[in-house]
Amino acid sequence: MRASLLNKLFQHVLSISATHGIDESHGMMHAMNTLHFARELFNSERTYRPNLREHEDVIYTSAIMHDMCDKKYMDEETGFEQFKPLLISELAPDDVDAIEKIVKTMSYSKVKENGFPYMGAYQSAYHIVREADLLGAYDFDRSMIYHLHNTTPDIEQAFQNACEIFDNRVLKHNDDELFVTESGRRMSLQLHQLSLIRRASWQELLSGKRRKL
């Protein structure tokens, strides 16, 4: 992806986040993390799916911008229209249409309700972006940050809310067969274990217990 396009996309992330009060759990840091997960998945999968090379810009753009029209922060249609002119100026019409469909159908809740959409030639690109976002969900701190910003100022309650999300959703990603790429499944298992370690660390901090040396 061209550095000039990356710069424009991240400038939009900063602008839209500031305008709509998108906190750091879904703002710049999450956009960057999702981009890097998408890049790792892309590099692993392109060996087996040669057509992915044609969709690299679609994958990376969708990864960066996917939460800039998140219904938790704004009307989805209005949100997408805010950055659609940038996409039109930089990418082919078919790619812009694919990005719009990816970001509007990839969320956990929509997949659970409606299943995977048919994306034609962009099907693999869709799954890479969607799985990159799922991998970002294993960040336990990110979940706590979201709750501190949006549901409670209390750190203990934010911890409990995050535990509930992980027990009911994140830690069931593989049981729910949400990963269709082998790369995504492999990475998710590693992140699953890391999230349990971070959760246990928070539990220890909040309980006031000290580790025995």
Q: 78 CB contacts (<8 Å, ≥6 apart)?
A: 69
Write out the chain's pLDDT in tens, 213 residues: 889 999 999 999 999 999 999 999 999 999 999 999 999 999 999 988 878 999 999 999 999 999 999 999 998 888 899 999 999 999 999 999 999 999 999 999 999 999 999 999 999 999 999 999 999 999 999 999 999 999 999 999 999 999 999 999 999 999 999 999 999 999 999 999 999 999 999 999 999 865 554
DSSP tally for the chain: helices H, then strands E: 10, 0
Has domain 3-207 been given CATH number 3.40.30? no
Query: pTM value?
Result: 0.94
Contact 183, 40 (CB under 8 A): yes
Sign of the Cα torsion 183, 38, 77, 84 reads negative
Q: Which residue has the tokens 């992330």?
A: 13
Give the residue from 195, 133, 124, 190 showing the smallest Cα distance to 166: 195
Burial class (CB in 10 A: 0-12, 13-18, 19+), 49: middle
